[in-house]
Amino acid sequence: MKSKTKIRVALESMDTYALNRFMKFVDSPYFNSNSALQSFAEIVINDIKQEEETSKDIIWSHLFKGTPYNDSKFRKLNNDLLSLFERFLTIEEFEDDALNRPNFLIKYLTKNKIEKLYSSSLNKAFRLSERNLEKSGDYYYQQYKLQKNIFNLTTDFERKINPIDKDENIESINENLDVFYFTEKMKYYSTVLSWKKIITSKDDISFIEEIIEYVERNQLIKFLPIRTYYTVLKTLLEPENIQHFNDLKEIISKDLMSFPDDEAKSIFDAAQNYCIRKKNLGEVQFISEHIDLIRSGLKTNVLLDGQFLSPTTVRNITFLGLNLKEFDFVENFLADYAHLIEDKYRSSILGHNMALLSFYKKDYDSVLEHLRDYNYESTNYTLATKSLMLATYYELDEYDVLDTFLSSFKTYLRRKKEIPEGRRNNYLNLIKITGRILSLKPGDKDSLAKIENEVREERSIASKNWLMEKINELK
């Protein structure tokens, strides 16, 4: 299979609107004066839209008629277009950052001493800041840069005759920088602590104890981003104090939309992870706390990954509702939010989660019906689907079918090399124990007791609760 160039791969990741904007960018003589590059971009973009790929020989003959093909020059053409595309992306990002643009303007005016535009540019910058709804750490960083530019904009003479304004300006510079700095420190320390709950991490953040003490002593939690990450930190450092979780819920309820989407999702996830850790410690009341969080998250779209609900998020929400036996909630969730699952695997994801709902309702025939057209290629989802089918065949007393299925499931696990060894063993143990249960002779309590002890002691086993339930039914 012919490998694609970097520029081709990069452009294929863009939607039609972005491709059209890039073509206008290439056509602009301000950004590009190379006509061959312009024609080359047009060919590549048209190919992408038509899902075709013109050979480099044909492209060359179109661009350089009568000139022998030169591979080195053709590679340079690709590299030049890639460089132009990278510049386009930079400008797109710049245009999207409305709060930062005035800072670049003021910096330019200062450097070039265009005093006539000072006043209007400052007023525009102040208006944008006042209208800005987001109040994350990045907002305070932009305010710091704005105040610093104002300081540099003011002449030495003006600073001498108006020392009060100078002091206020420096105070504002210092305050905005502090809010940004302390916010970022606590944000990344929270990330490090979260990682340490999952993996061994040697990463640490300098001065974090001093920062937390300084924040507390100087009441800096009056600033929203500091208060938010201070609270997230406290849920990690003092998990036994539920008030920190309640404080985080209040921030999510009142102020979450003051953060950019990706940051809001991270803050929301911190609350979800707290619930998960508490549930894992046996504090079952946090299942309902978690589902209340999910309800609020669905209303605000904070659970979306871009424009969509990820398959993992859909399954996690389904399991939450099922664990509380909130069957109506799960059914309504899957019906009301199906449109937020990507088209290409919506049918399979809905089928899997509806099958889970049917299984928990003990409607086992419907489980297999929902899974009939499953074709999602995710290994994790497929493993979950196969373990669900295994349990369903057992519940339906389809023991001959189950016996054959166990063999095919084992083959799947052996062939899928990308499955981590630990996870593979989980499912191999499920298959092994299920097979031994099927082989039990009626009344063989000794063998049943051995299986029960093995399941209790084995930590690496999928569907452990279901297995224990089936063993108890045979006693």
Q: Reduce the DSSP state of residue 305 to 3 states and report it.
A: strand
User: So what's the pLDDT on residue 160?
Assistant: 47
Three-state secondary structure call for residue 155: coil
Q: What DSSP element (H or E) covers 139?
A: helix 137-153
- CA-to-CA distance for 376 and 327, rounded, in angstroms? 24
* Secondary structure letter of residue 177 according to DSSP: H
For tokens 């489980």, the residue is 367
Q: To 5 degrees, how large is the angle CA 99–CA 143–CA 174? A: 165
Please name which of 233, 328, 231, 235 lies closest in space to residue 275, comparing C-alpha atoms. Answer: 235
- In the numeric block, the tokens 């960018």 are attached to 25
Q: Is 307 exposed, middle or buried (0-12, 13-18, 19+ CB in 10 A)?
A: exposed
Burial 15-50 (b: 16+ CB within 10 A, else e): eeeebeebbebbeeeeebeeeebbbbbeebbebbee
> What is residue 26's three-state secondary structure?
helix
Say how far apart CA 265 and CA 459 lie, in whole Å.
Answer: 32
Cα–Cα distance measured from residue 113 to residue 98, given in angstroms and rounded to the nearest whole number: 23
Cα distance between residue 291 and residue 279, in whole Å: 12
Place of tokens 């899902």: 51
- Residue 144's Cβ-count burial label (10 Å; 0-12, 13-18, 19+) is buried
Rounded to whole angstroms, how far apart are CA atoms 360 and 378?
23
CA atoms within 13 A on the CB side of 48: 23
Per-residue pLDDT of the chain (475 residues; tens, 9 = 90+): 467 899 999 999 999 999 999 999 999 999 999 999 999 999 999 999 999 999 999 999 999 998 999 999 999 999 999 999 999 999 999 999 888 899 999 889 888 888 888 889 889 999 988 888 889 999 999 999 999 988 887 664 455 444 446 667 889 999 999 999 999 999 999 998 887 654 444 556 778 889 999 999 998 999 999 999 999 999 999 999 999 999 999 999 999 999 999 999 999 999 999 999 998 888 989 999 999 999 999 988 899 988 899 999 999 999 999 988 999 999 999 999 999 999 999 999 999 999 999 999 999 999 999 999 898 888 999 999 999 999 999 999 999 999 999 999 999 999 999 999 999 999 999 999 999 999 999 889 999 999 999 999 988 899 999 999 999 999 8
Contacts of 94 (CB under 8 A, 6+ apart): 100, 101
Pairwise CA distance, residues 106 & 153, whole Å: 8
Q: How many residues does the chain have?
A: 475
**Rounded CA gap, 302 and 286, in Å?**
20
Q: Token digits for 298?
A: 């669905």
Look at residue 110 in the predicted model and tell me its pLDDT: 86
Q: What is the pLDDT of residue 291?
A: 92
Could you give the C-alpha distances from 109 to 135, 219, 421, in angstroms and in order?
27, 37, 61
- pLDDT at position 164 is 45
Question: Which of left, alpha, beta for 351 (phi over 0: left; psi -120 to 50: alpha)?
Answer: alpha
Q: Helices in 303-442 by DSSP H: which ranges? A: 311-323, 327-336, 343-360, 364-370, 379-395, 399-415, 421-439
Residue pair 286/275 in contact (Cβ under 8 Å)? The answer is yes
Contact 81, 40 (CB under 8 A): yes
Neighbours of 75 (CB within 10 A): 12
Asked if 54 contacts 47 with a C-beta cutoff of 8 angstroms, the reply is yes
Nearest CA-CA partner of 353 in 379, 324, 374, 339? 374
- At 103, which helix (H) or strand (E)? helix 101-112
Opening angle at CA 321, ends 320 and 324, nearest 5: 95
Residues with Cβ < 8 Å from 100, sequence gap 6 or more?
94, 142, 145
Is 14 in contact with 22 (CB distance < 8 Å)? yes
Query: How many whole angstroms separate alpha carbon 187 and alpha carbon 42?
Result: 44
